[in-house]
Structure 1
Amino acid sequence: MSASAKKTSSSTSVNHAAIDPAGFVKLGIQLPALADTLAQAINELGLSLSETQQRTLLLYLDQLLLWNKAYNLTAITDPKEALIKHVIDCLAIIPHLPSGSLLDIGTGAGLPAVIIAICQPERACTALDSNQKKIRFIKQISSELGLHNMQPIASRIEAHEASYEVVTSRAFASLIDFVHVAQPRLAAEGRLCAMKGKAPSDEELQALEHDWRIDTIKLTVPRLHDSRHLIELSAKNV
Protein backbone atom coordinates (compact mmCIF):
# COMPACT_ATOMS: atom_id res chain seq x y z
CA MET A 1 0.00 0.00 0.00
CA SER A 2 1.46 3.36 -0.99
CA ALA A 3 2.18 6.11 1.50
CA SER A 4 -0.51 8.23 -0.08
CA ALA A 5 -3.04 5.51 0.69
CA LYS A 6 -2.47 6.04 4.39
CA LYS A 7 -3.02 9.79 4.39
CA THR A 8 -6.32 11.17 5.57
CA SER A 9 -8.18 14.03 3.93
CA SER A 10 -8.42 17.02 6.24
CA SER A 11 -11.97 17.62 5.04
CA THR A 12 -13.36 14.53 6.79
CA SER A 13 -16.07 15.30 9.37
CA VAL A 14 -18.70 13.44 11.33
CA ASN A 15 -21.60 14.61 9.17
CA HIS A 16 -19.96 14.47 5.78
CA ALA A 17 -16.84 12.39 5.21
CA ALA A 18 -14.75 13.23 2.14
CA ILE A 19 -12.16 10.43 2.02
CA ASP A 20 -9.15 10.66 -0.30
CA PRO A 21 -9.77 7.81 -2.79
CA ALA A 22 -6.06 7.01 -3.21
CA GLY A 23 -5.33 3.42 -2.23
CA PHE A 24 -8.90 2.13 -2.51
CA VAL A 25 -9.57 -0.61 -5.09
CA LYS A 26 -13.01 -2.15 -4.52
CA LEU A 27 -15.08 0.64 -2.98
CA GLY A 28 -14.72 2.94 -6.01
CA ILE A 29 -17.50 5.42 -6.60
CA GLN A 30 -19.31 4.15 -3.48
CA LEU A 31 -16.52 5.47 -1.23
CA PRO A 32 -18.09 8.88 -0.40
CA ALA A 33 -21.46 7.35 0.54
CA LEU A 34 -19.80 4.58 2.55
CA ALA A 35 -17.63 7.13 4.36
CA ASP A 36 -20.74 9.13 5.27
CA THR A 37 -22.56 6.01 6.50
CA LEU A 38 -19.57 5.03 8.64
CA ALA A 39 -19.13 8.52 10.11
CA GLN A 40 -22.82 8.73 11.01
CA ALA A 41 -22.75 5.28 12.62
CA ILE A 42 -19.68 6.21 14.67
CA ASN A 43 -21.50 9.32 15.86
CA GLU A 44 -24.65 7.35 16.75
CA LEU A 45 -22.58 4.83 18.73
CA GLY A 46 -20.94 7.64 20.70
CA LEU A 47 -17.44 6.65 19.60
CA SER A 48 -14.59 9.10 19.21
CA LEU A 49 -12.57 8.00 16.19
CA SER A 50 -10.12 10.17 14.30
CA GLU A 51 -10.22 10.80 10.56
CA THR A 52 -7.28 8.41 10.20
CA GLN A 53 -9.12 5.66 12.08
CA GLN A 54 -12.24 6.10 9.94
CA ARG A 55 -10.13 5.91 6.81
CA THR A 56 -8.35 2.81 8.13
CA LEU A 57 -11.68 1.08 8.77
CA LEU A 58 -12.67 1.74 5.15
CA LEU A 59 -9.30 0.54 3.87
CA TYR A 60 -9.80 -2.67 5.84
CA LEU A 61 -13.22 -3.09 4.23
CA ASP A 62 -11.72 -2.43 0.80
CA GLN A 63 -9.00 -5.06 1.30
CA LEU A 64 -11.50 -7.54 2.76
CA LEU A 65 -13.53 -7.35 -0.45
CA LEU A 66 -10.45 -7.27 -2.68
CA TRP A 67 -8.95 -10.44 -1.22
CA ASN A 68 -12.23 -12.19 -0.50
CA LYS A 69 -12.03 -14.80 -3.27
CA ALA A 70 -8.38 -15.63 -2.64
CA TYR A 71 -8.85 -16.13 1.11
CA ASN A 72 -12.57 -17.05 1.29
CA LEU A 73 -13.21 -14.29 3.85
CA THR A 74 -16.93 -13.50 3.63
CA ALA A 75 -20.11 -14.45 1.82
CA ILE A 76 -21.05 -10.75 1.64
CA THR A 77 -19.75 -9.04 -1.49
CA ASP A 78 -21.80 -5.81 -1.58
CA PRO A 79 -19.69 -2.99 -0.05
CA LYS A 80 -22.58 -1.29 1.79
CA GLU A 81 -23.87 -4.55 3.22
CA ALA A 82 -20.35 -5.57 4.28
CA LEU A 83 -19.80 -2.17 5.92
CA ILE A 84 -22.97 -2.55 7.99
CA LYS A 85 -22.86 -6.28 8.78
CA HIS A 86 -19.12 -6.51 9.42
CA VAL A 87 -17.55 -3.16 10.32
CA ILE A 88 -20.43 -1.30 12.00
CA ASP A 89 -21.67 -4.49 13.65
CA CYS A 90 -18.27 -4.88 15.34
CA LEU A 91 -18.06 -1.19 16.21
CA ALA A 92 -21.26 -1.55 18.28
CA ILE A 93 -19.52 -3.67 20.94
CA ILE A 94 -16.61 -1.29 21.54
CA PRO A 95 -18.34 1.00 24.07
CA HIS A 96 -19.11 -2.08 26.19
CA LEU A 97 -15.74 -3.87 26.12
CA PRO A 98 -13.76 -4.12 29.37
CA SER A 99 -10.18 -2.86 29.18
CA GLY A 100 -7.13 -5.09 28.88
CA SER A 101 -5.40 -7.50 26.54
CA LEU A 102 -7.80 -9.19 24.14
CA LEU A 103 -8.03 -12.57 22.43
CA ASP A 104 -10.51 -13.05 19.58
CA ILE A 105 -11.29 -16.75 19.09
CA GLY A 106 -12.29 -17.93 15.62
CA THR A 107 -11.56 -14.49 14.25
CA GLY A 108 -12.02 -15.39 10.57
CA ALA A 109 -11.19 -12.27 8.57
CA GLY A 110 -10.37 -10.42 11.80
CA LEU A 111 -13.85 -9.66 13.07
CA PRO A 112 -14.00 -8.15 15.60
CA ALA A 113 -10.24 -8.25 16.35
CA VAL A 114 -9.06 -5.96 13.53
CA ILE A 115 -11.89 -3.48 14.11
CA ILE A 116 -11.02 -3.30 17.82
CA ALA A 117 -7.30 -2.91 17.06
CA ILE A 118 -8.00 0.00 14.72
CA CYS A 119 -10.27 1.77 17.22
CA GLN A 120 -8.20 1.05 20.34
CA PRO A 121 -4.51 1.21 19.41
CA GLU A 122 -3.56 1.11 23.10
CA ARG A 123 -5.04 -2.39 23.47
CA ALA A 124 -3.01 -5.51 22.66
CA CYS A 125 -5.17 -7.68 20.37
CA THR A 126 -4.59 -11.29 19.39
CA ALA A 127 -6.54 -12.75 16.47
CA LEU A 128 -6.74 -16.54 16.66
CA ASP A 129 -8.03 -18.90 13.97
CA SER A 130 -7.12 -22.38 12.81
CA ASN A 131 -7.57 -21.31 9.16
CA GLN A 132 -4.06 -20.37 8.02
CA LYS A 133 -5.25 -18.55 4.89
CA LYS A 134 -7.38 -16.17 6.92
CA ILE A 135 -4.55 -15.54 9.36
CA ARG A 136 -2.26 -14.75 6.41
CA PHE A 137 -4.80 -12.14 5.31
CA ILE A 138 -4.86 -10.59 8.79
CA LYS A 139 -1.05 -10.50 8.88
CA GLN A 140 -0.98 -8.81 5.48
CA ILE A 141 -3.64 -6.23 6.28
CA SER A 142 -2.22 -5.53 9.74
CA SER A 143 1.14 -4.74 8.17
CA GLU A 144 -0.37 -2.54 5.48
CA LEU A 145 -2.55 -0.63 7.93
CA GLY A 146 0.20 -0.27 10.53
CA LEU A 147 -1.64 -2.16 13.28
CA HIS A 148 1.28 -2.68 15.63
CA ASN A 149 -1.06 -3.84 18.42
CA MET A 150 -2.34 -6.81 16.40
CA GLN A 151 -0.91 -10.33 16.69
CA PRO A 152 -2.48 -12.86 14.28
CA ILE A 153 -1.95 -16.52 15.27
CA ALA A 154 -2.88 -19.62 13.26
CA SER A 155 -3.84 -22.18 15.89
CA ARG A 156 -6.68 -24.07 17.45
CA ILE A 157 -7.74 -22.59 20.77
CA GLU A 158 -6.93 -25.87 22.52
CA ALA A 159 -3.27 -25.50 21.49
CA HIS A 160 -2.97 -21.85 22.54
CA GLU A 161 -1.58 -21.23 26.02
CA ALA A 162 -1.48 -17.48 26.77
CA SER A 163 -4.06 -15.79 29.01
CA TYR A 164 -5.97 -12.58 28.37
CA GLU A 165 -8.11 -10.08 30.26
CA VAL A 166 -10.82 -10.13 27.58
CA VAL A 167 -11.78 -13.03 25.30
CA THR A 168 -14.18 -12.35 22.44
CA SER A 169 -15.88 -14.35 19.73
CA ARG A 170 -18.28 -13.60 16.91
CA ALA A 171 -18.37 -17.06 15.39
CA PHE A 172 -19.47 -19.57 18.04
CA ALA A 173 -22.98 -20.86 17.52
CA SER A 174 -23.22 -22.08 21.12
CA LEU A 175 -22.57 -19.79 24.09
CA ILE A 176 -21.88 -22.84 26.24
CA ASP A 177 -19.25 -24.13 23.80
CA PHE A 178 -17.60 -20.69 23.67
CA VAL A 179 -17.37 -20.51 27.47
CA HIS A 180 -15.95 -24.03 27.61
CA VAL A 181 -13.06 -23.34 25.22
CA ALA A 182 -12.44 -19.72 26.24
CA GLN A 183 -12.35 -20.11 30.03
CA PRO A 184 -8.84 -21.65 30.15
CA ARG A 185 -7.46 -18.60 28.30
CA LEU A 186 -9.06 -16.09 30.65
CA ALA A 187 -6.88 -14.22 33.15
CA ALA A 188 -8.03 -13.83 36.74
CA GLU A 189 -10.93 -11.36 36.95
CA GLY A 190 -11.12 -11.31 33.15
CA ARG A 191 -14.29 -11.17 31.03
CA LEU A 192 -15.67 -13.32 28.25
CA CYS A 193 -17.52 -11.26 25.62
CA ALA A 194 -19.62 -13.18 23.11
CA MET A 195 -21.23 -11.42 20.15
CA LYS A 196 -24.60 -13.02 19.49
CA GLY A 197 -27.67 -12.40 17.39
CA LYS A 198 -30.45 -13.48 19.73
CA ALA A 199 -30.19 -13.28 23.50
CA PRO A 200 -29.20 -16.54 25.23
CA SER A 201 -31.95 -19.02 25.94
CA ASP A 202 -33.06 -19.76 29.50
CA GLU A 203 -31.49 -23.19 29.08
CA GLU A 204 -28.08 -21.69 28.25
CA LEU A 205 -28.27 -19.22 31.12
CA GLN A 206 -29.24 -21.91 33.61
CA ALA A 207 -26.34 -24.09 32.48
CA LEU A 208 -23.86 -21.26 33.11
CA GLU A 209 -25.24 -19.20 35.96
CA HIS A 210 -23.85 -21.40 38.73
CA ASP A 211 -20.26 -20.51 37.79
CA TRP A 212 -20.67 -17.22 35.89
CA ARG A 213 -22.07 -13.75 36.38
CA ILE A 214 -23.85 -13.02 33.10
CA ASP A 215 -24.74 -9.62 31.66
CA THR A 216 -26.82 -9.59 28.46
CA ILE A 217 -26.47 -6.27 26.62
CA LYS A 218 -28.93 -5.52 23.83
CA LEU A 219 -27.08 -3.66 21.06
CA THR A 220 -28.43 -1.12 18.64
CA VAL A 221 -26.37 -1.37 15.45
CA PRO A 222 -26.89 1.61 13.12
CA ARG A 223 -28.46 0.62 9.75
CA LEU A 224 -28.86 -3.00 10.89
CA HIS A 225 -32.34 -4.23 11.69
CA ASP A 226 -31.36 -7.69 12.92
CA SER A 227 -31.16 -8.56 16.61
CA ARG A 228 -27.72 -8.16 18.21
CA HIS A 229 -26.51 -8.80 21.76
CA LEU A 230 -23.22 -8.82 23.64
CA ILE A 231 -23.01 -11.42 26.40
CA GLU A 232 -20.43 -10.58 29.09
CA LEU A 233 -19.45 -13.28 31.56
CA SER A 234 -17.16 -13.14 34.59
CA ALA A 235 -16.32 -16.10 36.81
CA LYS A 236 -17.92 -16.20 40.25
CA ASN A 237 -15.07 -18.09 41.87
CA VAL A 238 -12.39 -15.36 41.56
Structure 2
Amino acid sequence: MGLSQPGLAERLLAYLGLLAQWNRAYNLTAIRDPAEMVSRHLLDSLSIAPFVAGRVADIGTGAGLPGIPLAINDPHLRVSLAETAGKKARFLREAVRQLGLANVSVHACRAEDVPESGQHDQLIARALAPLDGILTLGGHLLRPGGRLLAMKGRVPTGEIAALPDGYRHLATHPLHVPGLDAERHLIIVEKTG
Protein backbone atom coordinates (compact mmCIF):
# COMPACT_ATOMS: atom_id res chain seq x y z
CA MET A 1 0.00 0.00 0.00
CA GLY A 2 3.06 2.25 -0.11
CA LEU A 3 3.14 2.76 3.66
CA SER A 4 6.64 2.32 5.02
CA GLN A 5 7.05 4.45 8.16
CA PRO A 6 9.44 2.92 10.71
CA GLY A 7 7.53 1.01 13.38
CA LEU A 8 4.17 1.36 11.61
CA ALA A 9 3.34 -2.36 11.60
CA GLU A 10 4.19 -2.72 15.29
CA ARG A 11 2.03 0.27 16.30
CA LEU A 12 -0.88 -0.91 14.16
CA LEU A 13 -0.64 -4.39 15.68
CA ALA A 14 -0.56 -2.86 19.18
CA TYR A 15 -3.83 -1.09 18.35
CA LEU A 16 -5.25 -4.32 16.93
CA GLY A 17 -4.24 -6.16 20.13
CA LEU A 18 -6.10 -3.61 22.26
CA LEU A 19 -9.12 -3.82 19.99
CA ALA A 20 -9.20 -7.63 20.18
CA GLN A 21 -8.79 -7.56 23.97
CA TRP A 22 -11.51 -4.97 24.59
CA ASN A 23 -13.77 -6.54 21.97
CA ARG A 24 -14.12 -9.68 24.08
CA ALA A 25 -15.74 -7.69 26.90
CA TYR A 26 -17.31 -4.70 25.14
CA ASN A 27 -18.35 -5.99 21.69
CA LEU A 28 -16.75 -3.08 19.82
CA THR A 29 -16.88 -4.82 16.43
CA ALA A 30 -18.64 -7.86 14.99
CA ILE A 31 -15.36 -9.04 13.49
CA ARG A 32 -13.63 -11.33 16.00
CA ASP A 33 -10.83 -12.92 13.98
CA PRO A 34 -7.64 -10.79 14.28
CA ALA A 35 -6.50 -11.80 10.77
CA GLU A 36 -9.82 -10.60 9.37
CA MET A 37 -9.47 -7.40 11.43
CA VAL A 38 -6.22 -6.67 9.57
CA SER A 39 -7.88 -6.47 6.16
CA ARG A 40 -11.39 -5.33 7.13
CA HIS A 41 -10.32 -2.72 9.68
CA LEU A 42 -6.65 -1.73 9.45
CA LEU A 43 -6.01 -1.98 5.72
CA ASP A 44 -9.48 -0.70 4.82
CA SER A 45 -8.85 2.36 7.02
CA LEU A 46 -5.39 2.94 5.57
CA SER A 47 -6.63 2.67 1.98
CA ILE A 48 -7.57 6.37 2.13
CA ALA A 49 -4.24 7.51 3.66
CA PRO A 50 -3.02 9.19 0.44
CA PHE A 51 -6.08 11.49 0.52
CA VAL A 52 -5.94 12.49 4.20
CA ALA A 53 -4.16 15.59 5.48
CA GLY A 54 -4.42 18.38 8.02
CA ARG A 55 -7.04 18.53 10.74
CA VAL A 56 -9.52 15.67 10.47
CA ALA A 57 -12.82 14.81 12.18
CA ASP A 58 -13.81 11.13 12.19
CA ILE A 59 -17.49 10.95 13.11
CA GLY A 60 -19.24 7.76 14.20
CA THR A 61 -15.77 6.32 14.59
CA GLY A 62 -16.86 3.29 16.64
CA ALA A 63 -13.63 1.59 17.69
CA GLY A 64 -11.53 4.34 16.11
CA LEU A 65 -11.84 3.36 12.46
CA PRO A 66 -10.48 4.85 10.31
CA GLY A 67 -9.16 7.64 12.57
CA ILE A 68 -6.73 5.73 14.79
CA PRO A 69 -4.95 3.80 12.01
CA LEU A 70 -4.65 7.04 10.03
CA ALA A 71 -3.24 8.88 13.07
CA ILE A 72 -0.76 6.07 13.69
CA ASN A 73 0.30 6.21 10.03
CA ASP A 74 0.76 10.01 10.01
CA PRO A 75 1.68 11.75 13.28
CA HIS A 76 1.24 15.14 11.56
CA LEU A 77 -2.52 14.62 11.29
CA ARG A 78 -4.70 16.18 14.00
CA VAL A 79 -7.58 13.73 14.44
CA SER A 80 -10.79 14.31 16.40
CA LEU A 81 -12.79 11.14 17.05
CA ALA A 82 -16.52 11.48 17.77
CA GLU A 83 -18.41 8.52 19.26
CA THR A 84 -21.66 8.51 21.25
CA ALA A 85 -21.47 4.98 22.73
CA GLY A 86 -19.87 5.23 26.18
CA LYS A 87 -18.05 1.89 26.06
CA LYS A 88 -16.53 2.72 22.68
CA ALA A 89 -15.48 6.19 23.86
CA ARG A 90 -13.80 4.58 26.91
CA PHE A 91 -11.92 2.23 24.60
CA LEU A 92 -10.89 5.14 22.38
CA ARG A 93 -9.48 7.10 25.34
CA GLU A 94 -7.57 4.06 26.56
CA ALA A 95 -6.21 3.28 23.08
CA VAL A 96 -5.08 6.90 22.63
CA ARG A 97 -3.39 6.79 26.05
CA GLN A 98 -1.69 3.41 25.62
CA LEU A 99 -0.55 4.12 22.07
CA GLY A 100 0.72 7.60 22.98
CA LEU A 101 -1.33 9.30 20.24
CA ALA A 102 -0.82 12.95 21.14
CA ASN A 103 -2.38 13.90 17.77
CA VAL A 104 -5.79 12.39 18.63
CA SER A 105 -8.63 13.77 20.74
CA VAL A 106 -11.79 11.88 21.73
CA HIS A 107 -15.26 13.42 21.95
CA ALA A 108 -17.83 11.25 23.72
CA CYS A 109 -20.78 12.94 22.07
CA ARG A 110 -22.83 13.11 18.92
CA ALA A 111 -21.09 14.62 15.91
CA GLU A 112 -23.53 17.54 16.05
CA ASP A 113 -22.23 18.39 19.54
CA VAL A 114 -18.47 18.31 18.83
CA PRO A 115 -17.32 21.83 19.84
CA GLU A 116 -15.04 22.39 16.84
CA SER A 117 -17.30 23.99 14.23
CA GLY A 118 -15.49 25.16 11.11
CA GLN A 119 -12.10 23.93 12.34
CA HIS A 120 -11.50 20.85 10.20
CA ASP A 121 -9.93 20.42 6.79
CA GLN A 122 -11.56 17.03 6.35
CA LEU A 123 -14.51 15.07 7.67
CA ILE A 124 -14.19 11.28 7.47
CA ALA A 125 -16.99 8.76 7.71
CA ARG A 126 -16.83 5.01 7.20
CA ALA A 127 -20.07 3.02 6.86
CA LEU A 128 -22.03 5.70 8.71
CA ALA A 129 -24.94 7.08 6.67
CA PRO A 130 -25.90 8.40 3.24
CA LEU A 131 -23.85 11.42 2.14
CA ASP A 132 -26.55 13.96 3.00
CA GLY A 133 -26.92 12.37 6.45
CA ILE A 134 -23.17 12.53 7.09
CA LEU A 135 -23.17 16.21 6.13
CA THR A 136 -26.19 16.91 8.35
CA LEU A 137 -24.37 15.31 11.29
CA GLY A 138 -20.89 16.70 10.75
CA GLY A 139 -20.82 19.25 7.96
CA HIS A 140 -20.56 22.09 10.51
CA LEU A 141 -17.11 20.77 11.50
CA LEU A 142 -15.68 21.60 8.05
CA ARG A 143 -14.09 24.93 7.26
CA PRO A 144 -15.16 26.54 3.96
CA GLY A 145 -13.41 24.55 1.22
CA GLY A 146 -13.08 21.58 3.58
CA ARG A 147 -13.81 18.11 2.27
CA LEU A 148 -15.88 15.12 3.23
CA LEU A 149 -14.07 11.82 2.61
CA ALA A 150 -16.84 9.21 2.64
CA MET A 151 -15.83 5.55 2.50
CA LYS A 152 -18.43 3.58 0.58
CA GLY A 153 -18.85 0.19 -1.06
CA ARG A 154 -20.45 0.74 -4.46
CA VAL A 155 -20.53 4.21 -5.97
CA PRO A 156 -23.62 5.88 -4.42
CA THR A 157 -24.80 7.67 -7.57
CA GLY A 158 -28.15 8.64 -6.06
CA GLU A 159 -26.53 10.02 -2.91
CA ILE A 160 -24.11 12.10 -4.98
CA ALA A 161 -27.02 13.51 -7.02
CA ALA A 162 -28.85 14.41 -3.79
CA LEU A 163 -26.05 16.40 -2.11
CA PRO A 164 -27.45 19.37 -0.17
CA ASP A 165 -26.83 22.98 -1.17
CA GLY A 166 -23.42 24.24 -0.16
CA TYR A 167 -21.62 21.04 -1.18
CA ARG A 168 -20.30 19.68 -4.47
CA HIS A 169 -18.96 16.31 -5.54
CA LEU A 170 -15.26 16.57 -6.43
CA ALA A 171 -14.16 13.01 -7.14
CA THR A 172 -14.77 9.30 -6.74
CA HIS A 173 -11.77 7.03 -6.28
CA PRO A 174 -11.82 3.22 -6.33
CA LEU A 175 -9.93 1.80 -3.36
CA HIS A 176 -7.85 -1.36 -3.31
CA VAL A 177 -7.76 -3.11 0.05
CA PRO A 178 -5.37 -6.09 0.22
CA GLY A 179 -7.17 -9.20 1.42
CA LEU A 180 -10.63 -7.71 0.95
CA ASP A 181 -12.69 -8.99 -1.97
CA ALA A 182 -15.28 -6.24 -1.97
CA GLU A 183 -15.99 -3.10 -3.93
CA ARG A 184 -14.71 0.01 -2.09
CA HIS A 185 -14.82 3.67 -3.11
CA LEU A 186 -13.86 7.01 -1.65
CA ILE A 187 -16.30 9.82 -2.37
CA ILE A 188 -14.87 13.33 -1.98
CA VAL A 189 -17.28 16.22 -1.44
CA GLU A 190 -16.26 19.86 -0.98
CA LYS A 191 -17.98 22.37 1.29
CA THR A 192 -18.58 25.38 -0.94
CA GLY A 193 -20.72 27.52 1.35
What TM-score does the superposition give when structure 2 sets the normalisation length?
0.93
- Pick closer, same or farther for the CA change 1:204–1:216 going to 2, 3 Å: same
2-structure distance, mates of 1:141, 1:183: 26
2-structure distance, mates of 1:135, 1:177: 22
Matches within 5 A, 1:113-152: 113-152=67-106
Q: What is the RMSD computed on CA atoms of the aligned residues?
A: 1.4
1:204 aligns with 2:159: yes
Please tell me whether Structure 1 or Structure 2 has the larger radius of gyration of its CA atoms: 1
1-structure distance, mates of 2:177, 2:164: 27
Please state how far the C-alpha of 1:46 moved relative to its aligned partner: 1.5
1:227 aligns with 2:183: yes
Structure 1 contact 213–236 (Cα < 8 Å) conserved: no
Structure 1 contact 125–150 (Cα < 8 Å) conserved: yes
1:79 aligns with 2:31: no
Please state how far the C-alpha of 1:122 moved relative to its aligned partner: 1.1
- Pick closer, same or farther for the CA change 1:191–1:103 going to 2, 3 Å: same
Identity %: 39
Unaligned ranges ≥5, structure 2: none
Please state how far the C-alpha of 1:80 moved relative to its aligned partner: 0.8
Matches within 5 A, 1:38-117: 45-50=1-6, 52-97=7-52, 99-117=53-71
After TM superposition, the runs of 4+ consecutive aligned structure 1 residues lying more than 6 A away are none
Quick one: which of 158, 170, 179 aligns to 2:135? 179
Which has the higher relative contact order, 1 or 2, with Cα contacts under 8 A spaced 6 or more apart?
Answer: 2
Q: Which residue does 1:194 correspond to in 2?
A: 150
Matched residue of 1:67: which SS?
Answer: helix
- Number of residue pairs aligned between Structure 1 and Structure 2: 190
Matched residue of 2:98: which SS?
Answer: helix
Q: Which moved more, 1:100-109 or 1:61-70?
A: 61-70
Unaligned ranges ≥5, structure 1: 1-44
Structure 1 contact 213–235 (Cα < 8 Å) conserved: no
Specify which structure has the higher proportion of strand.
2
What TM-score does the superposition give when structure 1 sets the normalisation length?
0.76
